[in-house]
Chain A
Amino acid sequence: MAAHTVRVRRPWGVVPTGLLLLGALYCLFPVCWVLIAATKSPGELFTTSTLAFGTGFFDNVAELFAYRDGVFWLWAGNTLLYAGGGALLSTAVSAVSGYALAKYRFPGRNLIFNLLIGGILVPSVVLAIPQYLLFSKIGLADSHWAVLLPQILHPYGIYLARVYATAAIPDSMLEAGRIDGASEGRLMTRVALPMMVPGMVTIFLFQFVAIWNNFLLPFIMLGDDGKFPLTVGLYTLLAAGANQPALYNLILTGAFLSLIPLIVLFLTMQRYWKTDLSSGAVK
């Protein structure tokens, strides 16, 4: 009987691992494909086997950096500005709003929160064109602000911050602070926000990745190619007109290079994330 149960359980125990491995393969395969394709010279790209490494990686990189006098770096800088700046501002706004919504009772609190929940359900893609028309009206279209501002208020980030603040900051702690005579501002900056850091890291990563990958908003908002982020910039290489050879090798190399900062960010931030989560668990 015992042998029987063991035999039945074993295969089931493998299933979750197997599913996860499949999931990992599903997620990592495209990345590997980009990596391999980025190493191929134009001549190898369509002629060699899909999974065989090519010999042109460094030529591709050099060619990409030389393309239009190094416009790649300008686009990379723009992306960093949009993603880094946008994610920082968005995290700050989300943390403060989430904290206020979690810990203060004021008229209209539930209304605001419900509106935010509703906001989560509206895909940002749908808002891009109305936002463009609005920004045109106030004269901000085709400026850096046109891409930054719409990303700062992020309903999902506020929602996360509120949930996190509710769970992570005990009311008794704030009470103790008030009894000791701390002002509300001091309570927030010295007591509440430090406890919310793991949540804020999550929000920052979410927003950073979302803005890094965002295509439609900058595509519509920006006319000046000097303000393009990488996504829109690389797209101009792809759709360069029918009479042009599409610069596939540069696009692939550009796509691959633009992945690296995201990978680095995740690996470094992840450590930060884990320590805080586990230190909370021990307490």
Chain B
Amino acid sequence: MRANRLGAALAVVLTVTLASCASGEPADGTGAAQSPTAAGSGPVKLTYWTWAPNMDKIVAVWNQAHPDIQVTVSKQAGGDDAAAKFLTAAKAGNPPELVQAEYQHLPSFIAADAVADLKAETAPVKGEFTEGLWGLVTLGTNAVYGIPQDSGPMMLFYREDLFDKYGIEVPKTWQEYAEAARTVRKKDPKVFLGTFSSKDPGAFTGLAQQAGAQWWSISGESWKVNVADEPTRKVADYWGALVKEGVIDDMPYFTPEWNKALNDGTLLTWPSAVWAPGVLSSNAPKAKGKWAVAPLPQWNAGESHSGFWGGSSTAVSAKTPHKAAAVQFATWLNTDPQAIGLLVKEAAIYPAATKAQSSLGQAPDYFANQADFWQQAAAVSAGARGFTFGPNVGVTYNAFKDGFDQALRDGTPFSQAVQGMQDATVADMRKSGFQLAS
């Protein structure tokens, strides 16, 4: 909690200051971190900012095989602060050559001219990724701003043992999910089927994507913002009604009471992403082997859609004189079978490359009871759809937290909070000077 608040404050401080000195700072590109370049004299040295665990071990393999391109890993704190820090460094003229960029932050990097267009270099590997993922690094334009590394298709995690106990079928549609929520409350008033978190815009974004939302799009030079579109309002109203009815809890994810509920069986499901086993195994170690996974419930029976929560790409700094070397490394890291094998094993990521997704073998330890875990994930991943993120996702996400906090507190309709997100996003983009198409 404290860290979140600290992080939020940090992000605000950084962005405010950045915005205020955006025009005053000539970026000369001769940063201290970059070694002077002379063709052929010694190896190219690259710095790589990432927060994936054990990345130094993976990079060591590359360094061994490529004495002329030496990569140094600088392990950073992840999340919104990492994006703000990279933007600050880019503005000051000494960014790292390579940076781990979450899909939702990539547009802000592009808007600040901080990352390079890799279209020519990445053309051969485009086919390694699904169209949905590739769209996240192109924003639907002709340019390519990063190479997808990991992805977070959403699935439904549920307590298999307690589903049996309460006699609930795994819901195939959101209607069935709502019915199941009511059944659970009737059978045991201490237990909830699920909870709606007003602190996790990423989860809500994924659910909106599943419903077919398109929050941003680019046409020519101008942006179209449609956060309060019909699918998003549908998702918001669905959860709003369930919370109001009292059959879905409203405690946020990643809090001590949520952890406790995961452990003691008073919370039965978590619509989350493929990385959930990591969270569950650390926050609910006692419930190991009791959770199972299924595709997300659908809006219409028979469909197989999902959304993304999380995931990141490797981007190359716009200012680097070593672009070719940096792209070579980023391509290796995210498409070479050996590298991906290491990413999966050492960094525990869910790879973005399609082939790698289908070749994952043994289920995560926490899900030892579900041998087909990765097969399920690959199937869900194929039907997952994302959307183009805008250049000010941070603002939209903050508006989500403010709006839904208030909606939960005052019992106002969730669709009103969605409208608040739309208004805040548009106002901020206008203020920052983006062209908006009406």
Contacts and interface: CB of A to CB of B under 8 A. Distances in A.
Given A239-B51, A243-B278, A141 B92 contact: yes
A156 to B, nearest CB: 21
A183 interface: no
Interface in A33-52: 42-43, 46-47
Given A129-B17, A223-B74, A242-B273, A42 B285 contact: yes
Contact of B256 (A43, A46, A238): A46
B82 A239 contact: yes
Interface string B42-86: 000001010111001000000000000000101111110110010
B88 interface: yes
Nearest to A45: B259
A242 B77 contact: no
A242 B285 contact: no
Contacts of A132: 88, 92
B150 interface: yes
A136 B94 contact: yes
Given A139-B32, A141-B32, A243-B349, A219 B85 contact: yes
Given A223-B49, A235-B3, A241-B78, A43 B13 contact: no
A46 B96 CA distance: 38
A97 interface: no
Interface string B343-372: 000001110000000000000000000000
B282 A239 contact: no
A181 B348 CA distance: 74
A140 interface: yes
B264 interface: yes
Interface stretch (A113-121, A164-172, A244-252): A244-252
A245 B77 contact: no
Given A47-B260, A136-B32, A242-B273, A129 B77 contact: no
B112 interface: no
B187 interface: no
B283 interface: yes
A124 to B, nearest CB: 12
B264 A223 contact: no
A154 B25 CA distance: 27
A241 B74 CA distance: 15
Contact of B33 (A142, A220, A225, A245): A142
Given A46-B256, A129-B13, A139-B32, A236 B75 contact: yes
A241 B51 CA distance: 7
22 contacts: A43-B285, A46-B263, A47-B264, A129-B17, A129-B18, A133-B92, A136-B31, A136-B92, A136-B93, A137-B92, A141-B33, A219-B81, A220-B85, A223-B47, A236-B77, A239-B7, A239-B82, A240-B53, A240-B78, A243-B152, A243-B278, A245-B279
Interface of A: 42-43, 46-47, 68, 125, 128-130, 132-133, 136-137, 139-143, 215-216, 219-220, 223-225, 232, 235-236, 238-248
